[in-house]
């Protein structure tokens, strides 16, 4: 992996329970910010995904890190846009990079 291609900052968020003034509230909280390569799905891939009802719109490639604890219950913030994580792939099972397939949430309510 060419490190120069990891030139975009993305932030992973996780859903957490916050207690304040005796009340519990569930909120999205920043978990980790990393450099990533951002790839939108090509036209051909888009139509193939649509044919099987998938809604992948983008994929992020990040460095693999042991104990990273990133999972499908998180979301990603990138350039004031919010993405739901659909799948996380350990590329070629080499523990070098992770490809994260996402779909953009159109209603970017935080």
The answer to whether 36 and 60 have CB atoms below 8 angstroms apart is yes
Instruction: Output the pLDDT for position 65.
Output: 85
Over its C-alpha atoms, the chain yields an Rg (Å, rounded) of 15
- 43-102 pLDDT, tens digit per residue, is 555 555 554 445 557 999 999 988 778 999 999 999 999 999 999 999 988 899 999 999
> What gap in Å lies between CA 15 and CA 18, rounded to an integer?
10
Beta strands 8-20 and 75-78, pairing class: antiparallel
Q: What percent of the chain has pLDDT over 90?
A: 53
Mean pLDDT for the chain overall: 84
The answer to whether 47 and 87 have CB atoms below 8 angstroms apart is no
- 22-59 pLDDT, tens digit per residue, is 888 889 999 999 999 998 876 555 555 554 445 557 99
The answer to whether 84 and 102 have CB atoms below 8 angstroms apart is yes
Q: How many CA atoms lie within 13 A of 51 on its CB side?
A: 6
């Amino acid at each position: 992996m060419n490190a120069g291609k990891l030139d975009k900052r993305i932030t992973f968020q996780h859903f957490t329970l916050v207690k304040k003034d005796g009340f519990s509230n569930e909120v999205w909280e920043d978990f980790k910010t990393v450099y990533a390569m951002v790839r939108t799905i090509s036209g051909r891939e888009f139509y193939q995904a649509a044919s099987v009802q998938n809604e992948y719109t983008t994929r992020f490639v990040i460095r693999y890190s042991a104990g990273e604890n990133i999972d499908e219950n998180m979301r990603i913030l990138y350039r004031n846009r919010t993405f739901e994580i659909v799948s996380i792939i350990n590329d070629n099972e080499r523990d070098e990079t992770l490809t994260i397939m996402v779909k953009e949430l159109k209603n970017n309510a935080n």
